Amino acid sequence: MPSSSPVAAPAAPRGPAAGERLLGISEAAARAGVSARALRYYQQIGLLVPARTTPGGMRRYSEGDLTRVARIRELQALLGLNLEEIALVLRNEDRLAEIRLTYRDERTSDAERRALLRECLALQQDLRDTVQAKRDALTGFLADLDTRIGKAQGLLAAGGAPPA
Amino acid sequence: MPSSSPVAAPAAPRGPAAGERLLGISEAAARAGVSARALRYYQQIGLLVPARTTPGGMRRYSEGDLTRVARIRELQALLGLNLEEIALVLRNEDRLAEIRLTYRDERTSDAERRALLRECLALQQDLRDTVQAKRDALTGFLADLDTRIGKAQGLLAAGGAPPA
DNA sequence: CCCGGGTCTGACGTTTACGTCAAGGTCCGA
DNA sequence: TCGGACCTTGACGTAAACGTCAGACCCGGG
């Protein structure tokens, strides 16, 4: 999906906390522990839109943006998701947050909002299941490793005085 | 490191269990759930050398080879290691196995073998620590998700009759 | 108003882990 | 022994996630 197309989905505007000091792309990148290029790329594929853009077209990032980058990196490193999958997850979370905000709004019907909420919840639980499966696998892996290590340690301990 | 160089490290010959039925690359690939190309590539970078090679130059894989492929995939998917890192891990495991075999050999001194063993053990424990760190992170992640899900569920439950 | 440093948009390069041909060589059952 | 299925080694292609230029543009301080 990361084609050379002009621009992807808007990815829900991050609201800067009114009067917050925004960061240029270099500082934002440094604080987030990624490259400026990565930030531009995330924007290109609709993963992260900077909180603001100056009239001249320069990106300005909020703290919330940094948090989002952290989440992206987490989903990358911990779950091994690719950016497309991460986009799905984040968009779902965005929708959930949006629903929370407009939940008491009068414009949509109760049933409608509940349906939407249920849909988002299902996706979240999907993710949860994925995470748990992975954690369980890692637990097994760990046990396996401990067994191996135990054996080698036994060998080491026995090495001093071979019995019989 | 996966350059176009002729061939990499031998990666410890897998001994086929004397009289075992060996598999051609296609069947091996199918049973291991990877492509034939992947198997060739693993060999090229010294990750997996088939148990035997016919005089004509055709690869023959043992069950042990399949196990090794499974381990490679596990390290890839679960830990997100790249093939170079996996090569390190596997080579270390190979050495450990080798040490186990020759541990009572007379040719090397006791101290020497113990030193080697200790070195391998250290690497294994490094890996163990990595795994545990990852598992812990996943545990935290899971708790986080559960919190979010709980909140959303609360919202859903309260949606029917907004209190006062 | 001007200047130096930060930033912009293309656009091409890079790495990993293979996929996908093409042109031949090998193996084995009839 | 021979034919078709399987396999071999190059060699080039590909997708993701950026890296790295070049050339132009913006922005805040003096």
Dump the DSSP string for A36-86.
HHHHHHHHHTTS---SEE-TT--EEB-HHHHHHHHHHHHHHHHH---HHHH
Range with lowest mean pLDDT among A62-66, B3-7, B32-36, B88-92: B3-7
Q: Is B142 in Cβ contact with A100 (below 8 Å)?
A: no
To the nearest 10°, report the CA torsion of A38, A44, A50, A56: 110
Mean pLDDT to the nearest integer, B5-22:
64
Record the pTM.
0.89
Residue-wise pLDDT tens digits, A111-162:
888 888 999 999 999 999 999 999 999 999 999 999 999 998 988 887 644 4
Tell me how crowded residue B158 is: count the other CB atoms within 10 A of its CB. Answer: 11
Range with lowest mean pLDDT among B18-27, B37-46, B77-86: B18-27
Q: How far apart are CA A64 and CA B5, in angstroms?
A: 47
The pLDDT value recorded for residue A142 is 97
CA separation, residue A116 to residues A107, B149, B154 (Å): 14, 14, 15
Show which residues on chain A lie within 8 Å of chain B, measured between beta carbons: 74, 77-78, 80, 93, 96, 99-100, 103-104, 110, 113-114, 117-118, 120-121, 124-125, 127-128, 131-132, 134-135, 137-139, 141-142, 145-146, 148-149, 152-153, 155-156, 159, 162
Is the confidence at residue B114, as pLDDT, over 80? yes
Ranges A122-131, A146-155, B2-11, B100-109, most confident: A122-131
CA separation, residue B55 to residues B10, B59, B60, B114 (Å): 18, 10, 11, 39
